C-alpha cells in the first residue's frame, strides 16, 4: 500500500507517530468520537469572544467616533488602543495556533481533516470582524461537536449560529407582512436563504427558483441576533416573532404552514435529506479526499451510506474513507496550501505553532512577530483559512491553486521560511531522510535529489533541501 | 429622467450591416493595444456609480442611499463623486459608460454569476475557461496575460502561459525553480508544467519582493509592464466587497469605498502608462447590479442590470451608451431590478475585437459560441 494514504486522509506521519499496521481500520476508527482540543494555551469560548467583539464595535462606533469626531489623529490612536484592549489583533492568531496544533498532534488526524472540510463547506468568509473574533470559535463550537451527529443537525446548528447569521445578514431580514414589516416597511434579506439552498444543502442543481429563495427567506425571518443598545449586533441568536412573515410558505414544492419558529427545523429537515443535497455534498466529500472530478462509482457508496444511516456523519465519513482507500493508488489529489503546510509541519516536526506560553497575550501591546508568524505564513502562501473571499469558501480544485504566483509562494516558503522552523535537533540530514522514509515510498529517489547538500546544516543548505523536497509532484499532491 | 427608452436606442442593429472587418494598419495600430479588465466582485451597483439624474422613483425607493454632489456627465446621468478620475477623463473623451447592461444571467447568486461573468457562458460551472483566455487563444496571443492576484482568475484561463503578479516577501533561487521544473517533466500534470514554464520566463521586473498588500505598487508595476512594447497585452485586476447588503450609504458608505478603489487603480494606470494610455482600454466587469429599492439594513439586494465603467484612449468618445429601460415598476426586471438591455458580452467581444485586431464575428463564434452579440466597435471604440 502506498504511504501517501496517510497524507490523503490525514497529515502524514510525524517522527513519533507509530506506523499503523493496517491503514484502513486505523483511519476508520478515528471517526466515532470528537477528539479534545489539545492546545495547552487559552481556548476562549465563543460567547466570551463575542463579548470582545461587542466591546470593540461598541467602543469604536458608539464611543470613539463621537468623542473624536473633530480629531482624526486622536481618533486613530484611540482606536488602535482599543484594538489591543479587545484583542482585535490577537484572537485570530490564537485560533490558527489551536487549529494547527490540533492537526499536528491529534491522535485522530483523519477526524481533523473532516473538521477542515466541514468548516470550509459551511464557510464564513471575510466580513466585518468575524475572522478576528468569531470564525475560529464557530469552527470549534458549532462545526466540531456536530461531526458525530446527523447532517441535518449540523445544518440546523450552523443556520442558527450567531456567526453564520451575522455572516449572511439574516438579522436584517424582516417579513413584509410581519408586525415589524408593516410598521417600518422593512423587507427580507435573501442572502442567508440563498446560501442555505445553494451552498449548504441542495445546490443549484435542485432547480429552485427565485420564488423558492424568497419563500425560504420568509421562513427564516425572525431568526437573528437580539439587538440591544449596549451589545449592538453581538447579542445571542433568538427568534423574534415580530419580524416573522405570517402565512403559509412553499419551498421546492413543499408547503409549510404558519408555525412560527418551528418552520425552520421542518424546512431544514427537508433540505438536508433531499436527494440532490445528498448527492451534492457526497460529491464534494469525494472531491476533497479522492480527486477533483470524482466518478459516479466513487460517489455512489457514499450516497448509499448516507441513505442507509439517515445522514449520520460518522457513517458518511467512513464511507468516504473507504472510497479514498480504494482509489488511493489510482487517483491524484492536489492539496491546497494550508493542508500542505500542516503536512509539512507534522512530517518534519516543524516549530509551528508557537508554544502556548509564548502565545500568551497581555492586551496592551501589539502581538509579537513570533505570535503573528503562523498567520503571516498562511496569508503569504495564499490560504488564510478564516478569510475566504466568498461564502463558498476555499476552492477544492487544483486549477484554482496552480498559478505562477501561488506556486512561487510555496517555493519561497519551503526554501526561505521553512528552514527557520526546523528545530535545531532536527537539522541533521539523517533525520530528514527518516521523515521521508516514514511518508514516501519513493524516499530513495527523493533522497538522491538532496544528496549533494547532505553535509550542510546552514539555513541556506536546509533551504535547498526543503525547497526541492516540499515541491515535488508527489508532495504537492497525493 | 425625462428621456424615454427609444431616444437612446442607438447602434446595435445598424452595425449588423457591416459585412467584413478590416483592421486599419496605420501607425497607431502598430502600437501594442492594452486591454485591462477590473473585476468588481459582489455585484456593482450601476445606479450608485452612474446615477440617473432627477428620477423621483429612485429617490423615493432609496431614501437612505441618496447621493449628493454627483458629478455631472450629461443631462440624464451623473457620476459618483468618488469616481473623479473618470470625470476628468470624460472631459477628454477618455472615459465612457455602458448602462443597463449585464451578462445574460438573472439568477442573483454571486457564485454562479461570477462564474458566468468570467466564462461568458450560460450554465454555471460548465465551462472551465474564461472568455478573455479564449479570446487571446483565438487571436494567437499567447503568454501576454497578466493577472494582479494570487490565484489565476478563471477569466484568463484557457490560454497557456499567463502570468500573475503578486510579489512574495523574498526571492526564490532560479536554480530551485529549474530543479522543480525538471522533476515535473515526467509528471502528467500539464497545468503545473505550463505554469512552471511561465515562471521561468518571468521578466526580471517581476522578480521583485515587496508588500503585496500595497495595491498602489501592484498597479504601478502592472502599468510599467503594460507600457513595455513586448510586455503583456492584457491585465486583470480583482476587487471585491461590492456586496453591500447593509450600510451601503451614499457619498461615503460601503459602496463608495469600493468605487474609490476602482478610481485609485484607474488613476494609477493613467498616471503611469503615460502615452501608452492612449493605446489602452480599461473595462469593469461584475456579476450583476443591485435592487432599486434599499433593504432593511440600508443596503441593496442582488439585482440584474448594472453598468460598465470604461476608460482609456481607445474609446471613441465620452458617452453613456445605453438603451435605457426606465425605472417604473413595470419597466424593472421582475419588478425590482434595473433591466439589462445590452448583453455586456457584446461590449467585451467588441473590446477584444478592437484590441486584438480580430474580426468581431470570428471572436463571437470562437469565444461566445456564436451567441447573438451585436458588434459595438464603431459605437464605442476607436477603429
Domain spans of chain A, in order of start? 1-148+314-319+332-478, 162-272
Inform me whether the C-beta atom of residue A405 falls under 8 Å from chain B C-beta atoms. Answer: yes
User: Contact B137/B158 with Cβ under 8 angstroms?
Assistant: yes
- DSSP E strands: which ranges in chain B? 34-40, 71-72, 78-79, 95-102, 145-148, 163-164, 234-239, 280-286, 290-294, 300-302, 306-311, 320-322, 342-343
Under the banding of pLDDT at 50, 70 and 90, the label for residue B203 is: low
Question: How many C-beta atoms surround the C-beta of residue A186 within 10 A?
Answer: 21
What is the rounded CA–CA span in Å between residue A430 and residue A450?
Answer: 12
Q: How far apart are CA A437 and CA A447, in angstroms?
A: 9
CA distance B272 to chain A (A): 23
- Pairing relationship of beta strands B145-148 and B163-164 according to DSSP bridges: parallel
DSSP category for residue B173: -
ipTM of the shown complex = 0.89
pLDDT band at B211 (very low <50, low <70, confident <90, very high): low
Q: Which residues of chain B lie closer than 8 angstroms to A398, CB-CB?
A: 191
Pairing of strands A223-225, A237-239: antiparallel
Q: What is the 3-state secondary structure (H, E, C) of B176-226?
A: HHHHHHHHHCCCCCHHHHHHHHHHHCCCHHHHCCCCCCCHHHHHHHHHHHH
Distance from CA of B136 to the nearest CA of A (A): 18
DSSP per residue, A391-406: TT-S--SGGGT-SHHH
Cα–Cα distance, B237 to B286 (Å, whole number):
12
User: Residue B25's pLDDT is what?
Assistant: 47
Q: Which of A121, A164, A402, A66 is nearest to A277 (CA)?
A: A121
- Contact B324/B5 with Cβ under 8 angstroms? yes
The answer, yes or no, to whether residue B250 has pLDDT greater than 90, is: no
B117, B151, B222, best to mutate vs chain A, most A CBs in 10 Å: B151
- Please report the beta strands in A195-289, taking only residues with DSSP state E, as ranges in sequence order: 223-225, 237-239, 249-251, 254-256
Please state the rounded mean pLDDT for residues B142-153: 80
- Residue B129, pLDDT above cutoff 90: no
Sorting pLDDT into bands at 50, 70 and 90, what band is B207?
low
CA distances from B217 to A198, B91, B211 (A): 37, 27, 8
Q: What number is the average pLDDT over the span A87-102? A: 98
pLDDT at B193 over 50: yes
pLDDT tens sequence across A20-43: 999 999 999 999 999 999 999 999
pLDDT, position B19: 40
Helix, strand and coil percent figures for chain B, each rounded to 5: 40, 15, 45
Above 50 in pLDDT, residue B3? no
| Strand (E) or helix (H) holding B57 | helix B56-61
Q: Measured between CA atoms, how close is A74 to chain B, in angstroms?
A: 21
pLDDT per position as a tens digit, A7-21:
999 999 999 999 999
Instruction: Give residues 161 to 180 of A whose Cβ lies within 8 Å of B.
Output: 169, 172-174
Distance CA B192, CA B184 (A): 8
The whole-model pTM stands at 0.81
CA A378/CA A396 separation, integer angstroms: 17
Helix orientation angle between A337-347 and A404-412, rounded to the nearest 10 degrees? 20
pLDDT in tens, B100-121: 999 999 988 887 899 899 999 9
- CATH number at B29-167+218-380: 3.40.720
Written as nine digits, the cell of A367 is: 502581538
Q: What is the pLDDT of residue B12?
A: 34
* CA–CA gap between residue B130 and residue B139 (Å, rounded): 14
With vertex at residue A208, the alpha carbon angle to CA A207 and CA A209, rounded to the nearest 5 degrees, is 120
CA angle B28, B33, B36 (to 5 degrees): 150
* CA distance linking residue B300 with residue A177, whole number of Å: 19
Is the distance from CB of B60 to CB of B259 less than 8 angstroms?
no
DSSP state of A60: I
Nearest CA-CA partner of A111 in A2, A21, A22, A36: A36
**pLDDT of A253 above 90:** yes
Helices (H), A29-134: 46-58, 65-67, 72-86, 91-105, 109-121, 130-133
Q: What is the pLDDT of residues A287-336, one digit of tens each?
A: 999 999 999 999 999 999 999 999 999 999 999 999 999 999 999 999 99
- Collapsing DSSP states into helix, strand and coil, what is residue A326? helix
Integer Cα distance of B150 and B212 in angstroms: 9
- Determine, for residues B179 and A198 on separate chains, whether the beta-carbon distance falls below 8 Å: no
**C-beta atoms of B302 and A190 within 8 A:** yes
pLDDT digits (tens, 9 = 90+) for B262-317: 999 999 999 999 999 999 999 999 999 999 998 766 788 899 999 999 999 999 99
Residue A382 Cα distances to A69, B190, B230, angstroms? 37, 22, 29
Disruptive mutation site among B295, B332, B337 for chain A (greatest number of A CBs within 10 Å): B295
Question: Which residues does A285 contact at the CB level (< 8 Å), separation at least 6?
Answer: A117, A302, A316, A320
A433 with A450: CB under 8 angstroms?
A: no
Put simply, the answer to whether A403 touches B195 (Cβ < 8 Å) is yes
Residue B282 DSSP label: E
- Helix, coil or strand: residue A334: strand
CB contact under 8 A, B183 and A199: no
Beta strands B290-294; B234-239: pairing state: unpaired
- Report the distance separating Cα A215 and Cα A252, nearest Å: 9
Tell which residue, A219, A183, A179, A212, has the closest CA to residue A198.
Answer: A212
Amino acid at each position: 500500500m502506498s504511504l501517501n494514504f496517510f497524507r490523503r486522509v490525514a497529515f502524514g506521519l510525524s517522527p513519533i507517530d507509530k506506523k499503523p499496521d493496517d491503514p484502513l481500520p486505523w483511519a476508520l476508527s478515528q471517526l466515532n468520537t470528537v477528539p479534545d482540543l489539545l492546545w495547552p494555551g487559552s481556548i476562549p469560548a465563543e460567547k466570551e469572544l463575542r463579548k470582545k467583539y461587542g466591546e470593540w464595535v461598541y467602543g469604536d462606533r458608539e464611543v470613539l467616533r463621537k468623542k473624536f469626531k473633530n480629531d482624526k489623529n486622536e481618533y486613530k490612536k484611540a482606536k488602535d488602543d482599543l484594538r489591543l484592549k479587545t484583542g482585535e489583533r490577537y484572537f485570530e492568531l490564537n485560533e490558527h495556533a489551536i487549529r494547527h496544533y490540533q492537526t499536528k498532534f491529534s491522535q485522530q488526524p483523519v477526524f481533523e481533516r473532516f473538521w477542515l472540510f466541514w468548516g470550509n463547506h459551511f464557510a464564513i468568509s471575510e466580513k466585518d470582524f468575524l475572522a478576528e473574533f468569531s470564525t475560529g470559535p464557530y469552527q470549534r463550537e458549532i462545526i466540531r461537536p456536530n461531526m458525530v451527529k446527523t447532517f441535518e443537525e449540523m445544518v440546523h446548528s450552523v443556520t442558527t449560529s450567531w456567526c453564520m447569521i451575522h455572516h449572511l445578514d439574516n438579522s436584517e431580514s424582516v417579513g413584509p407582512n410581519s408586525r415589524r414589516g408593516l410598521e417600518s416597511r422593512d423587507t427580507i434579506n435573501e442572502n442567508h436563504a440563498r446560501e442555505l439552498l445553494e451552498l449548504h444543502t441542495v445546490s443549484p442543481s435542485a432547480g429552485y427558483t427565485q420564488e423558492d429563495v424568497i419563500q425560504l427567506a420568509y421562513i427564516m425571518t425572525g431568526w437573528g441576533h437580539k439587538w440591544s443598545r449596549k451589545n449592538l449586533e453581538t447579542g445571542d441568536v433568538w427568534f423574534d416573532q415580530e419580524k416573522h412573515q405570517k402565512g403559509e410558505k412553499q419551498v421546492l414544492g413543499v408547503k409549510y404552514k404558519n408555525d412560527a419558529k418551528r418552520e425552520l427545523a421542518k424546512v431544514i429537515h427537508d433540505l438536508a435529506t433531499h436527494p440532490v443535497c445528498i448527492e451534492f455534498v457526497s460529491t464534494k466529500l469525494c472531491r476533497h479526499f479522492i480527486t477533483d472530478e470524482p466518478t459516479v462509482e466513487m460517489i455512489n457508496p457514499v450516497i448509499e451510506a448516507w441513505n442507509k444511516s439517515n445522514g449520520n456523519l460518522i457513517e458518511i465519513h467512513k464511507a468516504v474513507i473507504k472510497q479514498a482507500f480504494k482509489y488511493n493508488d489510482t487517483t491524484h489529489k492536489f492539496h491546497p496550501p494550508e493542508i500542505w503546510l500542516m503536512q509539512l509541519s507534522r512530517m518534519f516536526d516543524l516549530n509551528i505553532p508557537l508554544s502556548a506560553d509564548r502565545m500568551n497575550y497581555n492586551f496592551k501591546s501589539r502581538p509579537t512577530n513570533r505570535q503573528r508568524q503562523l498567520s503571516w505564513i498562511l496569508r503569504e502562501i495564499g490560504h488564510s483559512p478564516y478569510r475566504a473571499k466568498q461564502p463558498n469558501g476555499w476552492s477544492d480544485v487544483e486549477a484554482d491553486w496552480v498559478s505562477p504566483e501561488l506556486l512561487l509562494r510555496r517555493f519561497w516558503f519551503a526554501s526561505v521560511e521553512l528552514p527557520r522552523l526546523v528545530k535545531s535537533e532536527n537539522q541533521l540530514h539523517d533525520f530528514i531522510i527518516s521523515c521521508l522514509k516514514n511518508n514516501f515510498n519513493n524516499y530513495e529517489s527523493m533522497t538522491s535529489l538532496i544528496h549533494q547538500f547532505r553535509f550542510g546544516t546552514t539555513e541556506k543548505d536546509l533551504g535547498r533541501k526543503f525547497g526541492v523536497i516540499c515541491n515535488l509532484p508527489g508532495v504537492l499532491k497525493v | 429622467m425625462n428621456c424615454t427608452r427609444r431616444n437612446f436606442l442607438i447602434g446595435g442593429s445598424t452595425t449588423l450591416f457591416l459585412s467584413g472587418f478590416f483592421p486599419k494598419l496605420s501607425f497607431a495600430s502598430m502600437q501594442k493595444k492594452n486591454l485591462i479588465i477590473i473585476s468588481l466582485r459582489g455585484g456593482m451597483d450601476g445606479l450608485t456609480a452612474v446615477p440617473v439624474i432627477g428620477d423621483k422613483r429612485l429617490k423615493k425607493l432609496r431614501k437612505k442611499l441618496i447621493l449628493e454632489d454627483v458629478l455631472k456627465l450629461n443631462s440624464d446621468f451623473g457620476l459618483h463623486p468618488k469616481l473623479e478620475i473618470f470625470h476628468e477623463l470624460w472631459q477628454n473623451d477618455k472615459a465612457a459608460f455602458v448602462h443597463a447592461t449585464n451578462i445574460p444571467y438573472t439568477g442573483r447568486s454571486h457564485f454562479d454569476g461570477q462564474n458566468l461573468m468570467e466564462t461568458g457562458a450560460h450554465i454555471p460551472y460548465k465551462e472551465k475557461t474564461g472568455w478573455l483566455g479564449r479570446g487571446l487563444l483565438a487571436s494567437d496571443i499567447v503568454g501576454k496575460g497578466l493577472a494582479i492576484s494570487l490565484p489565476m482568475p478563471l477569466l484568463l484561463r484557457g490560454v497557456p502561459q499567463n502570468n500573475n503578479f503578486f510579489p512574495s516577501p523574498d526571492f526564490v533561487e532560479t536554480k530551485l525553480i529549474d530543479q522543480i521544473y525538471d522533476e515535473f517533466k515526467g509528471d502528467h500534470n500539464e497545468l503545473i508544467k505550463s505554469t512552471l514554464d511561465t515562471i521561468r520566463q518571468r521578466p526580471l521586473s517581476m522578480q521583485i519582493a515587496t508588500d503585496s498588500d500595497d495595491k498602489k505598487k501592484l498597479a504601478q508595476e502592472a502599468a510599467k509592464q503594460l507600457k513595455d512594447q513586448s510586455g503583456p497585452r492584457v491585465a486583470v485586476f480583482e476587487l471585491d466587497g461590492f456586496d453591500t447588503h447593509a450600510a451601503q450609504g451614499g457619498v461615503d458608505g460601503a459602496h463608495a469605498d469600493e468605487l474609490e478603489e476602482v478610481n485609485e487603480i484607474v488613476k494609477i494606470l493613467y498616471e503611469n502608462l503615460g502615452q501608452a494610455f492612449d493605446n489602452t482600454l480599461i473595462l469593469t466587469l461584475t456579476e450583476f447590479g443591485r435592487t432599486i429599492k434599499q433593504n432593511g439594513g440600508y443596503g441593496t439586494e442582488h439585482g440584474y442590470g448594472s453598468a460598465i465603467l470604461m476608460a482609456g484612449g481607445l474609446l471613441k468618445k465620452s458617452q453613456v451608451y445605453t438603451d435605457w429601460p426606465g425605472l417604473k415598476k413595470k419597466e424593472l426586471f421582475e419588478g425590482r431590478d434595473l433591466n439589462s438591455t445590452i448583453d455586456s458580452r457584446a461590449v467585451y467581444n467588441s473590446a477584444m475585437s478592437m484590441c486584438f485586431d480580430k474580426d468581431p464575428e470570428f471572436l463571437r463564434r470562437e469565444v461566445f459560441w456564436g451567441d447573438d452579440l451585436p458588434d459595438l466597435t464603431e459605437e464605442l471604440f476607436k477603429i
